[in-house]
């Protein structure tokens, strides 16, 4: 008589084992991994999964650890949220249930924290361009392809901006939530005020640029 193999035992359940998608914006997937104390048998080992809040972050009903392996990964599907939400997960095998060693943080859509122009006043004869700086209220996760911010000028003939700027994790400073763009000034100078606008997720933030020198009356007062 041959003794049966001991039942497989769960070691841990981890969210975002690669460290690339936690936190993540709602609507952007993350991942998880389940680990066994010993390699799975030839038939593989099926582990049951569950989410503490499937309306925010859902997981497949189960994941199979392949034969000879002691771990398997799975996708966590997230939904848009209105505020930052942390979700835990569980894995069950042979009557043993464990909770994830960490939580997945699902972030609300980012908004613009600030829009600044440097310098805020410029003479096109000496400063043909101005630097614009966008800062978001949230860090851009490593798994994000970037946050597109729409730009506009109240007088593009005097001060032109690109249609948009994409804020990525590495587009600005080491705060991981900012990006720069260029405001191009026309010459000859057309003195006046121009409003530069940045729009993201239905919210618009503005900054005023004063153009010095040249003829008057070309900008927004």
Is 5 or 97 the better-scoring residue by pLDDT? 97
Fold (CATH) for 112-211: Immunoglobulin-like (2.60.40)
Model confidence band, residue 6 (pLDDT cutoffs 50, 70, 90): low
Q: Is the pLDDT of residue 189 over 80?
A: no
Say whether pLDDT at 129 is over 80: yes
CA pair distance 17, 103, nearest whole angstrom: 11
pLDDT, tens digit (0-9, with 9 covering 90-100), for 9-35:
999 999 999 888 889 999 999 999 999
Is pLDDT of 3 > 70? no
**Same fold flag, 10-107 and 112-211:** yes
Cα–Cα distance measured from residue 177 to residue 198, given in angstroms and rounded to the nearest whole number: 15
Q: What is the pLDDT of residue 215?
A: 56
- The model's pLDDT over 65-76, given as tens digits with 9 standing for 90+, comes to 999 999 999 999
Domain 10-107 carries which CATH code?
2.60.40.10
Separation CA 95–CA 13 (nearest Å) = 15
pTM equals: 0.76
Domain edges within the chain: 10-107, 112-211
State pLDDT tens for residues 131-158: 999 999 998 888 888 999 999 999 999 9
Pairing of strands 24-25, 104-107: parallel
Which comes out higher in pLDDT, residue 190 or 148?
Answer: 148
pLDDT for 96 equals 96
> In percent, how much of the chain has pLDDT > 90?
77
């Amino acid at each position: 008589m041959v003794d049966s193999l001991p039942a497989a035992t769960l070691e841990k359940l981890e969210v975002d084992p690669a460290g690339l998608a936690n936190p993540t914006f709602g609507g952007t997937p993350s991942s998880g991994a389940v680990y066994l104390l010993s390699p799975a048998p030839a038939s593989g080992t099926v582990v049951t999964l569950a989410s503490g809040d499937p309306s925010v972050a859902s997981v497949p009903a189960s994941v199979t650890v392949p034969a000879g392996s002691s771990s398997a990964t799975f996708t966590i599907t997230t939904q848009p949220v209105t505020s930052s939400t942390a979700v835990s997960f569980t894995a069950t095998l042979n009557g043993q249930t464990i909770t994830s060693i960490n939580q997945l943080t699902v972030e609300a859509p980012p908004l613009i924290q600030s829009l600044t122009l440097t310098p805020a006043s410029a003479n096109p004869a000496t400063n043909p361009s101005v630097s614009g700086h966008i800062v978001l209220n949230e860090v851009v996760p490593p798994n994000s392809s970037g946050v597109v911010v729409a730009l506009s000028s109240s007088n593009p003939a005097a001060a032109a901006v690109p249609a948009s700027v994409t804020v990525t994790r590495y587009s600005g400073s080491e705060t991981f939530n900012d990006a720069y763009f260029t405001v191009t000034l026309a010459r000859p100078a057309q003195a006046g005020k121009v409003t530069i606008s940045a729009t993201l997720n239905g919210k618009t933030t503005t900054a005023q640029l004063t153009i010095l020198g040249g003829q008057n009356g070309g900008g927004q007062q």
